Amino acid sequence: MADDTAGHVRSSIDLKSAQLPVVAVVLKSTDTQVLAAELAARLQDEPGFFDNDPVLIDLGAVQDDPSPIDFPALVTELRRYHARPVAVRGGSSEQMQAAHDQGLIAAPEAARPVATPAPAPQEPAPAVVPEAAAPPPGPGAVVVDKPLRSGQQVYARGADLVVLAMVSFGAEVIADGNVHVYAPLRGRAIAGARGDTSARIFSTCLEPQLVSVAGIYRTTETELPDSVRGKPAQVRLEGEKLLIEPL
């Protein structure tokens, strides 16, 4: 602690919440040797895939497997590829305890914001809050200046999301407010995640897997017209119709 010239106590540290992109590694086997072999095969051509990214280990698919998971070996194997395992979720109590003993924290299920698409294109999702009750986006925006690779997700809670690099196929960007991507948008973009029907999606190169505003979505199964595909464009709602327009 130190005193400023006005005699007030000045803190040397601030504690704030933060949004951090995390790569989820979903285990489908508890056999560490099998996992190591598959990691080697998948990353043979992309040895820098993780690029020191924080990693969350998802155990949902193996939580009923009675075989123990060798977490020290798994963590060591991931670190070989410059991944940084920090958390685990979805496992049985025994699996979660073993992960905790290895220094991994438990990621609560509530920390996994997921925007569920509507049952059919051009239909609002049942869980979407009506516009009048939707909380407005908070001040400021979450800014991401690093490319997002397949499997990565960023969620701007109560704010806009601004991405200054490419959103790759398989990546997901979500915001309670607007989504701005000043680069190719090839993954999934979800604006108005809590029901804000005035939210929009902007991109300088629109090539998405999926775009969604307040639960109304469109996938690449419906091909984009030439006027917007791969070009600067915006996505917005007009009533319950999703409009994709050139900028």
pLDDT tens over the chain, length 247 residues: 445 555 555 666 765 545 555 677 889 899 999 998 888 887 776 666 676 778 888 898 899 999 999 999 999 999 888 888 888 888 899 999 999 988 888 876 543 434 434 344 444 444 443 433 334 444 468 888 889 988 888 888 888 999 999 998 888 899 889 999 999 998 889 998 888 889 999 999 988 888 888 878 887 766 788 888 888 988 998 887 888 888 8
- In sign, the C-alpha dihedral spanning 35, 41, 44, 50 is negative
Residue type, 102: Q
Q: What count of other Cβ atoms lies within 10 Å of the Cβ of residue 32?
A: 18
Q: Give this prediction's pTM.
A: 0.46
Specify the 3-state DSSP secondary structure of 10.
strand
Query: What are the C-alpha distances in Å from 120 to residues 62, 144, 195, 218, 220?
Result: 31, 31, 17, 9, 14
Question: Residue 174 and residue 210: Cα distance in Å, rounded?
Answer: 12
Question: Residue 239 and residue 233: Cα distance in Å, rounded?
Answer: 19
